[in-house]
Amino acid sequence: MRAMVYHGPGQKAWEEVPDPEITDDGDAILRVDTTTICGTDLHILKGDVPAVASGRILGHEAVGVIEEVGDGVRTLRPGDRVLVSCVSACGNCRYCREGRYGQCLSGGGWILGHTINGTQAEYVRVPFADHSVYQAPDGVPDEEILMLADVLPTGYEVGVLNGHVRPGDVVAVVGAGPVGLSAITGAQLVSPSHIVAIDLADARLEAAKGFGADVTVNSSREDPLAVIRGLTTGLGADVTIEAVGVPATFELAVKLARPGGRIANVGVHGEAATLHLEDQWTRDITITTGLVDTYSTPTLMRLVVSRQIDARKFITHNFGLDDFPEAYDVFARAADTGALKVVLSR
Ligand code: NAD
Ligand code: ZN
């Protein structure tokens, strides 16, 4: 089969590799019909995620059809059309029992396209298949279901729920990529008074307006702190959601929060960011971090099916699987191309 293989920082290739095989009786083999690229894949290519070894097939999002299941798989059959979640879960360990699947102690968590071969391929082996895939509902196209593999639960769980967004809040979202836009989407479910999107790319801010941001700030031209203070009688945001993953945006997210406010970090960080405790120790702030657990996937799937969440808005580009190199280029140059999620289909 062909797959997108990581060959060390800055290097990747769409190339011929061996087909995956069942190696554990909880595994399933999926024929990938639709997959996509995540901001995290760009971090991997920058060298920010050293656990990814050279030779690894990238990707942690897919919708496809089960081809084969191991003897221990109980709930899936060949022919089932399923969503593969970015997080795999054994379902039995202490953390899985708490719904904290991202921290699975038995070899689950974010493993696809990270510590094992991923979904940017014609076929993928999915471990712990019973607990790691979701039956795709009829009547909703694969590419919309695909948005539930990572971005929608990430923005909602790690941004909105960890940040405890409440009705009437002023919410600042730093970074209006697909994850930031998911946080904007999720925040609207609880009726904040203002959602402020902050980014350096006008194309992304334009998208943020379409997703429901009330105010947009291009932080290369405007001071986000002044804008937020203007909206909050000088106090700061009730909740800030960091959805970029560089030191400057974490530090900005902390600065934008009001005393007593909450800062939800979502971005994947490859280097140290400074927490200015000398400024913050009196301000009663709460900072949360998190790897998405995907416990909200069934809830969000119902909202996608009912169109309370319009997953179509994320999809800006469609490619064939053989167009992977071009799709990466378009996604990496989002400021120029306007790309949000690029979808690759068989
Ligand atoms: P993306 O790269 O598409 O979007 C990032 C956005 O940040 C871009 O629009 C970019 O213009 C903007 N940006 C860059 N530097 C900025 C700055 N200094 N100030 C303001 N904006 C700036 O990425 P994405 O797919 O939206 O993902 C966002 C982050 O979430 C990434 O770090 C990704 O790795 C992370 N992520 C985390 C989890 C998790 O479980 N915690 C899961 C998925 C993704
Ligand atoms: Zn587990």
For residue range 65-123, what is the model confidence (pLDDT) as tens digits?
A: 999 999 999 999 999 999 999 999 999 999 999 999 999 999 999 999 999 999 999 99
Q: What is the mean pLDDT of residues 274-296?
A: 97
CATH fourth-level superfamily of 153-288: NAD(P)-binding Rossmann-like Domain (3.40.50.720)
Q: Which ligand is nearest to the CA of 89?
A: 2
Sign of CA dihedral 40, 244, 185, 104: positive
Residues of the chain within CATH 3.40.50.720 domain(s) are: 153-288
Rounded to the nearest whole angstrom, what is the distance from the C-alpha of residue 23 to the centroid of ligand 1?
34
Q: Are 6 and 52 within 8 A, CB to CB?
A: yes
Fold exhibited by the domain 2-150+293-345 = Quinone Oxidoreductase; Chain A, domain 1 (3.90.180)
Ligand 2 centroid to residue 85 C-alpha, Å: 14
Q: List, in sequence order, every beta strand (DSSP E) within 110-230.
A: 123-126, 133-135, 170-174, 194-199, 215-218
- Alpha carbon 222 to its chain centroid, in Å, reads 27
Residues with CB under 6 A from ligand 1: 38-40, 42-43, 150, 154, 158, 174-180, 198-201, 204, 219, 243-246, 248-249, 266-268, 290-292, 334-335
**Residue pLDDT, tens place only, 142-163:** 999 999 999 999 999 999 999 9
d(CA 90, CA 313): 32
| C-alpha closest to that of 197 among 224, 221, 220 | 224
Q: What is the pTM of this model?
A: 0.96
Compute the average pLDDT of residues 320-335: 96
pLDDT of residue 233: 97
- Tell me where in the chain the CATH 3.90.180.10 domain(s) lie: 2-150+293-345
Could you say which ligand is closest to the alpha carbon of residue 101?
A: 2
Q: Is residue 115 classed exposed, middle or buried when 0-12, 13-18 and 19+ CB atoms within 10 A define those classes?
A: middle
Residue 267 Cα to ligand 1 middle (Å) = 6
Cα(41) to centroid(ligand 1), Å:
11
Ligand 1 atom at minimum distance from 289 CA = 41
